[in-house]
Amino acid sequence: MSSLELDLEINGRRIRRTVPAHMRLLDFLRDELNLTGAKEGCGAGECGTCSIFIDGVLMKSCLVPTARVQGKKIETVEGLARRGELSPLQKAFCRTGASQCGYCIPGMVMAATAALRRNPHAGMEEIKESLSGNICRCTGYQKIFEAVALARDVMNGMLPATALDAEVLGDTFVGASVRRLDAPSKVTGALKYAADMTMLGMLHMQVLRSPYPHARIVALDTAEAEAMPGVEAVVTHRDVPGVDGFGVFVHDQPVMARDKVRYVGEAVAAVAAENLDIAKAALARIKVRYEKLPAVFDAFEAMRRGAPILHDTARDNVVMHIPIRRGDVEHGFAESDVILEETYRTQAIEHAYLEPEAGLGYVDQDGVVTIVSPSQNVTHHRHALSRILALPINKVRMIMSPVGGGFGGKEDMIYQGMLALAALKTRRPVRYVFTREESIVATAKRHPFVVSYKMGVKRDGRICATSMYMVADGGAYGLSTEGVMRKAAILAAGPYNIAHVRVDAIGVYTNNTPSGAFRSFGALQSEFATESHLDMIAERLGIDPIELRRINGMRDGAITHTRQQLDSVSLMTVLDAVAKAAGWEAGAPTVRGETRSDLGAAGNRPPCTLGARLKTRETRDSWEVA
């Protein structure tokens, strides 16, 4: 492969380097120059975590061949505050709290800088459009937009520079904008996420993954890969010294596939090599012979007699069944005036945090196996790893690197075990950085549910009985399924007084990608069914949907379906606030007329349009300026 001599300016400094001709600018910045403010969120030009300026033009560096920047001037996020003083925009991001996980923030700051450089008086719609190539998954954008508008006003002299200072706090933090201590590190790109960290002598890991949803591993031969120059180690299940299993509740997932693979994307072997190219090439030299097994992709089919069995420990493919019984539902249905039955389905959802999984493992000078990773569950992982490695707990250390978004998706110890095994085998630091594609293929999703619902009500709206039969696709391994089933079941029937309740939540093994923790942990799926069902009941009975909830809602002192006494219940306050904020028009869903006064009101979201800049340019009539 040919190389390329580069001579260019980066952040005001002249740089001369020889790099591989095909190298992407993002890799040049991160790997050659250690400018890790630009991140790789997707590598496909979608997310904007790698935005930088080339000759003053904002570009996504993952899509720029390095050859193109010969002789050009590059500005990265590190260049904005080179002398230590934050730019007004960076200060504004700190002031409004416009950074949460922070992974999108360097790119976001660059896009915001571009927006105000192009038009120092940009209006809100124009600001939004200018940032539209940059995705944020945590903040909800509002604080980011506020930051850009604040910086704009300060830079234009509309507001004093002190408007960027942290808010002086009174007696309470509630309702105040509390200074985020880590904000400066995020807006400058200085904060190091796991993929940004390097160590002397560090090896790079790549993982061979299963192409089949269900197959027996007949042979696994790594000799040829291990013999390659530059390959330091290949690890497989054979390298696991202890009890091979992880999972938040059931420890049924081996660090790497043991006798068989159970989903497409499951890790089978891992290579640690001097560089990524060698590691990738070595994967192709690992020989695996599979014997395909019948697979099952539907939770109901998996529960049928004769279905393929995934785990010997669960011959019925059931991970966990949580039943809840209160009163006698048949009696409740018998005394109901109206009975409504419906089935609700939810889908698997990817967390899509902007930071793909990454980790760095090493054995320190005292023989402590250390894993640095954005784990959302370090203590649990430490105990699990100690069991897997058969090491005492004081010889295992977990360091939580900044989490670039997790939402539950980083609770599972998907890759930390492989890093530990490779570090032990090579006695060198090993880093593994997932691509976006690997992150989507290999890691857990939100549990898809099918909820069969039956509810009986009196004509006046009182709920007599609720029956919910919920089946969730847990995928190939247990991970958090047990806990998700429990929470789904406990919260299923909602915060309503119901004398007769029957709930079954069943998590099932299938050969789909494992399901795991995801914001709300099962409550979303069952609540979606309950609240949808109540809306349909309201329509059937001709009752205002909010009133229906008031009729049945729990008050202070209520006893839940799992016999917990609630001292205080804020449901009524919340309902009132929601109705007010939404501009809710009272009345049954069936009596609403053709016009709605609750749409288009202040605080409602208007329909999407693009072209704010066209409008400002058209009114400025600047088209004729040649």
Partner 1 sequence: MLTCDEYRMPETLDDALALMERHKDRYRVIAGATDLLPATRAGRLGDIHAPMIIDLSRIAALRSVAVNAERVRIGACTEMARFLDAPLLARHLPVMLHCAVWFGDDQLREAATIGGNLVNASPAADAAPPLIAMNAVVTLESRDGGTRRRRDLPLEEFVTGPGTTRLAQGELLTAIECDSMAGYGAAFEKVGHRRSLVISTVCVAALVRVDHWPGRFVDIRLAIGAIAPVPSRLRECEEFLSGKPISSATIGAAARLVSARVQSRTRRAYRAEVVVNFIERALTDAAVNAGVAFDDATRMKEVSHV
Site for partner 1 contains 171 (CB under 8 A): no
Please report whether residue 613 would count as binding partner 1 according to CB under 8 A: yes
Interface with partner 1 (CB under 8 A), residue from 6, 10, 11, 24: 24
Is residue 208 classed as helix, strand or coil in its secondary structure? strand
Which range, of 15-23, 173-181, 549-557, 578-586, touches partner 1 by CB under 8 A?
15-23
Footprint (CB under 8 A) of partner 1, residues 280-299:
none
Decide: is 48 part of the binding site for partner 1 (CB under 8 A): yes
Helices 481-491, 523-541: inter-axial angle, 10-degree rounding: 30
Stretch that binds partner 1, among 42-50, 152-160, 386-394, 482-490 (CB under 8 A): 42-50
Is residue 130 near partner 1 by the rule CB under 8 A?
Answer: yes
Q: Is 495 in the site for partner 1 (CB under 8 A)?
A: no
CB of 217 to partner 1, least distance (A): 22
Considering the complex, what minimum distance in angstroms separates the CB of residue 109 from partner 1? 14
Listed in order, strand segments (DSSP E) in 282-374 are 287-292, 318-326, 338-345, 358-363, 369-373
Segment interacting with partner 1, rule: CB under 8 A, options 63-71, 141-149, 168-176, 510-518: 63-71
Q: Which is nearer to partner 1, 141 or 333 (CB)?
A: 141
Positions 383 through 442 that interact with partner 1 (CB under 8 A): 435, 437-438, 441
What is the footprint of partner 1 within residues 103-122 (CB under 8 A)?
111, 114
Nearer to partner 1, 57 or 591 (CB): 57
Site string for partner 1, 66-85 (x = CB under 8 A): -xx-----------------
Q: Which of 58, 149, 151, 389 binds partner 1 (CB under 8 A)?
A: 58
Coil, strand or helix at 474: strand
CA 594 to chain CA centroid, Å, is 40
Q: Which is nearer to partner 1, 122 or 396 (CB)?
A: 122
CA–CA separation, 501 and 524 (whole Å): 19
CA neighbor of 106 nearest in space, from 134, 146, 129, 142: 134
Tell whether residue 592 is a contact of partner 1 (CB under 8 A).
Answer: no
> Is residue 59 a contact point for partner 1 (CB under 8 A)?
yes
Query: 364-369 contacts: CB < 8 A, separation 24 or more?
Result: 364/397, 367/395, 368/394, 368/395, 368/396, 368/397, 369/395, 369/396, 369/397, 369/420, 369/423, 369/424
Shortest spacing between CB 68 and partner 1, in angstroms: 6
Q: Tell me which stretch binds partner 1 (CB under 8 A): 43-51, 324-332, 367-375, 523-531.
A: 43-51
Q: What angle do helix axes 545-552 and 571-582 make, rounded to 10 degrees?
A: 170
Between 211 and 557, name the residue whose CB sits nearer to partner 1.
Answer: 211
Quick check: 330 and 399 in contact, CB under 8 A?
Answer: no
Taking alpha carbons only, the member of 83, 81, 145, 157 closest to residue 115 is 145
Q: Is 2 in the site for partner 1 (CB under 8 A)?
A: yes
Of 2 and 172, CB closest to partner 1:
2
Whether residue 470 contacts residue 525, with contact meaning beta carbons closer than 8 Å, is answered with yes
Kindly provide the residue ranges of all beta strands, DSSP E only, lying in 21-93, ordered along the sequence. 51-54, 57-60, 73-75
How many binding residues for partner 1 (CB under 8 A)?
46
Which H or E run contains 226? helix 223-226
Which whole-number Å values give the CA distances from 283 to 205, 301, 500, in the listed order?
Answer: 10, 35, 57
Cα-based torsion angle of the residue sequence 171, 172, 176, 178 in order, rounded to the nearest 10 degrees = 90
Report DSSP state, residue 341: E
Does 303 bind partner 1 (CB under 8 A)? Our answer is no
Q: Which of 64, 371, 465, 503 binds partner 1 (CB under 8 A)?
A: 64
Distance CA 76, CA 35 (A): 8
Interface positions with partner 1 (CB under 8 A): 1-2, 4, 20-22, 24, 43-46, 48, 51, 57-60, 62-65, 67-68, 111, 114, 129-130, 132-133, 435, 437-438, 441, 600, 607-611, 613-614, 622-626
